[in-house]
Chain A
Amino acid sequence: DVVLTQTPPTLSATIGQSVSISCRSSQSLLHSNGNTYLHWLLQRPGQSPQLLIYLVSRLESGVPNRFSGSGSGTDFTLKISGVEAEDLGVYYCVQGTHAPNTFGAGTKLELK
C-alpha cells in the first residue's frame, strides 16, 4: 500500500501566519491517465472531514483562496496564507491513484 507521510504532525500558528504542510508518498501518484489523485481534507473538532483541495492544486468550491496546493510525483504541499481561527483542526492528505486509497496520519493545526 502507498504510505503518505505528513509533516509536521503538529503545527502551532498565530492568526495571520502562513504555514505549510508536507505530504510525501512512497510511490509516484501520477496515474497512467495523466491525473494525480492527491487531495487535502480538513477535519474540524467534532466534524466530518471536508474537501479543501483536489487533484493536487484545485480549490474546492467555497473554500477560501488562502488555501493552496502544489506538488507532483511524490512530494506535495498544502499552504495556508494567513491562518484564521476557523482553520484549526486536523489536515489530511489522501491518495486515490493506487488501490487501496490511503490517508496521511494527519497534521494538527493549533493556535499558538
Chain B
Amino acid sequence: QVQLQQSGAELVKPGSSVKISCKASGYTFTSYDMHWIKQQPGNGLEWIGWIYPGNGNTKYNQKFSGKATLTADKSSSTAYMQLSSLTSEDSAVYFCARVGRGFDYWGQGVMVTVSS
C-alpha cells in the first residue's frame, strides 16, 4: 500500500535552515508529482510547490520561492524540502502529498518550531 513517511519534529533557531524528508513506498516514486503543503497552527492549508522525481522538475508557489527548496533522491524514494532563513512565521506543520487522483496520499506531517 502507498505510504509517505515523514521525518520527525524539528526545533530550530531563527535564521537557520532545516531539511525534512518524505519517504515513499508502495508505488513507483518517479511517476508521480510530490507536493508540499504548509499548515500553521489553527490555520488552513497553503501550497508550497511540487517536484517530479522522475526528472527533478520543480514548481514553486511564488510566496515560497527562495524559502523552500525541493529535491528528490530516486535511489531511496525520498523527497526532501529544505527551508532556509527561518523565522517564527515558518513555525508550522509541513505535509508531503502525492498527486495522482488529486492529493490522494499524505504524509503524517512534520512540525517545525522556530524558537531561540
Contact = CB atoms under 8 A, between A and B. Distances in A.
Contacts of A99: 59
Interface in A84-105: 90, 92, 94, 96, 99-105
Nearest to B103: A51
A51 B104 contact: yes
B61 A51 contact: no
Contacts of A50: 106
B10 interface: no
Contacts of B102: 37, 39, 51, 53-55, 60, 94, 96
A55 B100 CA distance: 11
Interface stretch (B42-50, B67-75, B78-86): B42-50
B53 interface: no
Interface in B88-116: 95, 97, 99, 101-109
B47 A103 contact: yes
Interface string B46-64: 1101000000000111110
Interface residues of A, number: 24
A112 B35 CA distance: 35
B104 A54 contact: yes
Interface residues of B, number: 23
B47 A39 contact: no
B107 A48 contact: yes
A58 interface: yes
Contact of B109 (A39, A48, A103): A48
A81 to B, nearest CB: 21
B66 to A, nearest CB: 15
Given A41-B103, A49-B97, A101-B35, 8 more contacts: A48-B108, A51-B104, A58-B101, A94-B102, A94-B103, A100-B60, A103-B44, A106-B45
Interface of A: 37, 39, 41, 48-51, 53-55, 58, 60, 90, 92, 94, 96, 99-106
Interface of B: 35, 44-47, 49, 59-63, 95, 97, 99, 101-109
Instruction: Give the 4 A-B residue pairs with the shortest CB-CB distance, closest first.
Output: A54-B102, A39-B102, A48-B106, A100-B61
